[in-house]
Structure 1
């Protein structure tokens, strides 16, 4: 958060809640602000929302279109279901002269002068409080030289911001060389970016490059363009959500042997990572804890990356854990997430919203899916850390699952996040008695003691079963244990017939 006497500056709200949060309430009034971004980044959509919010507040608003016709601007608004009846749209592109009148240099200068006079005449007629000029690219081309271009921008700055006018200039700079000339003249600069991953939908993000004498939230903030306009997801800062200390409280898993392994259950405000190979039962174990919380009347938010909602509910029923009644009652809220269509910022915003609406437990199944929504492993670790810190401040029990690469023997994780979690539960396959079995162990718990035993883990149609400690085996976690005949240990769980 950048601060510079920001709260004292009157703001013009954009009508986009997430963006107003980033800007500290909106754009500072009576100033020129620059929206920079490549075509398709969302500049026009954002500026139209800015104007419509002004109309809603009873202000006069003017949209000056230099590169688009009035009909094209109206079609953009119609695609979002907007009515621009309260916004004056001035089509400056209609002022183009004929080919005979505009040939080389002097006609371009004449055309620039005519456009500027026409624009200022329209501003004087409408007397707007909010003005959008789309775009600076046309002025740059008509001016032809940097000196003339700067003079025209200075003239606009002097004449547009008077009489309580807040102005947005739109610009399409070259990605390799942003126009620092316009940036230096503007009071605030917001840069919009459109990223194109190798697979999936485009991702968009913005950042406030500068905002003189005003507070704003720094860094990149993901946003999406949906029917109805921009949705901005401000970067989560856990330090802004500090809460007071509370009495320690345990959250039981609904499985007594597992509670014993965990030293009495899970602690509120902590995160638990369930890690293991594919098919080892990570989601089933997490579902067991979710069902126990729902049975107690707690609200649980489930974000499922790896399977459709119907599959999740069917798998839960197959192990004696019926979540459907809790979902119908609103106690369990299942959100199916497509990592190819959502950014990490939007997902974390959804998690934050669920918690602010009363969720006391959050399950993310799995981090592998979240990783696909991240641009890099470094971003994954940083954003997961911030999210877990926020959830801890809100005293939420957080469950995370992560699939490791491999089945038997050495396992590798796509990203090492075990140090972020307060508790780590490890699931493993091992070979014994001519069959493939599953083992469970708690390898880490920050708060309090926990069992260091390794137990057999068996999902059944009537629920999960945990066996006694496997003291008669050595090397279970390697996948191929050795039986020690002289050791006193419990027998393996009987395998149920299909």
Structure 2
């Protein structure tokens, strides 16, 4: 039996939304776009029509709520012109113009539902649009006065547009109590938009495909933003859908003793957690790996949730670490992020862009504590972080995660335990010795191969990062206050006391 042809699609004008719809909306169908006021429905609808204009299609915007001037002002705020879109306006303003192309003005609160519908259909007959936006259904619901009449009217609209070659987007602001399941059952597809205001920071905006007949789609909530260019949709990352073939080679740090500690270095396609108290050197080690990758002609990207870009560059200069900013081979891209302003989906899209478009092979996330603050709840952090690390591993990226612990000496505690997600865990500690505060480094875990079980002293100066020989003469370094133990006289002096 011959398979029927695949249905034709039309772009929504939003690449991320097209991606989760597996290619865009199916043409010649009726869709519901619902969301509370301020969710971004009008902006998304205008992008949908502008995409049609770009493809040479006739587009019609029927508005019962906003005036054309308000819609134009909205478009101007995004840097758009609405040339090529026809408007049919029914407002509570004044008069009726003739049917020869001018604006037609009615009083929706004072006329019958059937009269409103008739005038809308007349406008459709005149323009024969390929794409239509109806804004909004709340006025029709008020005119209908009861749910049965309202449902019949929507069904009549659906039947009218069937076979007319027009893809319709109906906007609804959820003024009905709860979700309008009757309306959702009539539409071929439902796009739901949400926005919530946290106690601090930008509103969290999300989108969900509730229903899409005749096609697979990406279910669940997707993060979105409304920016100068319009609605941006960040598809939820599914690591299994991404990956490339790569050679599992070692990524050296450029510091021989650090590489020795890690059994030769870090491998591509693995994630490394650098954990320790504030000031122990976690970010510096991550920076060293990024700089070493750039020196070898690779590209690295650093996402900074806490430390500022200028401070990072100043510290790099003080350590003699050469950092050349930019994208592409030999460069390090440094992106400073505000946890209160960036959504998790937006952050993941930035990481994907660095890897897929710019070819980054070393990624630094500094720190997980800042990343946690960008997440609505800890469980969501773990799920998203797991998918992100799996994606980066599948793409052959060496990922470095920085996590700060509370406390300085002795017992320290992680804000969030992510050690089970990482392939390698590098532990940094501070300890007291000979009247001074020193730093120690050790490797607690490395799934991809061997590593030293020793503890080394680590220090930083104008010549970079230095590690001592293993601290064989100290016991209790990780506790913060070690004691010296007597070593055989044949033990080299360098192994008796930490250097630096």
Q: Is the 8 A contact 1:6 1:24 kept in 2?
A: no
* 1:20 paired residue among 18, 32, 35: 18
What aligned pairs does 1:96-495 form with structure 2 within 5 A after superposition? 110-173=111-174, 177-244=178-245, 246-324=246-324, 331-357=331-357, 358-486=359-487, 490-495=495-500
- Partners of 2:31 and 2:170 within 8 A in 1: yes
| Partners of 2:296 and 2:330 within 8 A in 1 | no
Q: Please state whether the residue corresponding to 2:478 is helix, strand or coil.
A: helix
Question: Which runs of at least 4 in structure 1 moved beyond 6 Å after TM superposition?
Answer: 95-98, 325-330
Q: What is the number of residues matched between the two proteins?
A: 482
Preserved contact between residue 37 and residue 43 of structure 1 (Cα < 8 Å): yes
Q: Does the aligned pair in 1 maintain the 2:298–2:330 contact within 8 Å?
A: no
Q: Please state how far the C-alpha of 1:330 moved relative to its aligned partner.
A: 6.2
* Residues 360-411 of structure 1: per-residue CA shift (max 9 Å, x gap): 1111111111111111111111111111111111111111101111112222
Distance in 1 (alpha carbons) for counterparts of 2:427 and 2:352: 27
* Cα distance per residue 1:25-48 (max 9 Å; x no partner): 111111110111111111000000
8 Å CA contact 2:299–2:328 kept in 1: the answer is no
Distance 2:447 2:328 in 1: 35
8 Å CA contact retained: 2:298, 2:328: no
Q: Indicate how the Cα distance of structure 1 residues 330 and 83 shifts in structure 2: closer, same or farther if over 3 A, else same.
A: farther
- Choose the corresponding residue for 2:73, options 58, 71, 75: 75
CA distance in 1 between counterparts of 2:448 and 2:329 reads 33
Q: 3-state SS of the aligned residue for 1:93?
A: coil
Tell me the distance in 1 between the aligned counterparts of 2:410 and 2:420: 22
Q: C-alpha displacement at 1:214, in angstroms?
A: 0.8
2:30 is aligned to: 32
Q: Structure 1 residues 325 and 53 mapped into 2: Cα distance closer, same or farther (>3 Å)? A: closer
RMSD: 2.1
Question: Does 2:6 align with 1:8?
Answer: yes
Paired position in structure 2 for 1:101? none
Moved more, 356-365 or 153-162: 153-162
How many Å apart are 1:111 and its aligned residue? 2.8
CA deviation after TM superposition for structure 1 residue 128, in Å: 0.6
Inter-partner Cα distance in structure 2 for 1:390 and 1:206: 22
C-alpha distance in 2, partners of 1:114/1:96?
Answer: 17
SS of the counterpart of 1:391?
A: helix
Distance of aligned partners of 1:6 and 1:450 in 2 relative to their CA distance in 1, 3 Å threshold: farther
Please report how far the alpha carbon of residue 482 of structure 1 lies from its aligned counterpart in structure 2 after TM superposition. 2.3
Q: What residue in structure 1 maps to residue 100 of structure 2?
A: none
> Does the 8 Å contact 2:290/2:301 carry over to 1?
no
- Structure-1 separation of matches of 2:302 and 2:312: 10
SS of the aligned residue for 1:68 comes to coil
**Unmatched 5+ residue regions in structure 2?**
97-107
Task: Give unmatched runs, 5+ long, in structure 1.
Answer: 99-106
> Closer, same or farther in 2 for the Cα pair 1:175/1:163, shift >3 Å?
closer
Are the structure 2 counterparts of residues 326 and 195 from structure 1 closer, same or farther at C-alpha, using a change threshold of 3 Å? closer
Equivalent residues of 1:303, 1:363 under 8 A apart: yes
Q: Any idea what SS the aligned residue of 1:476 has?
A: coil
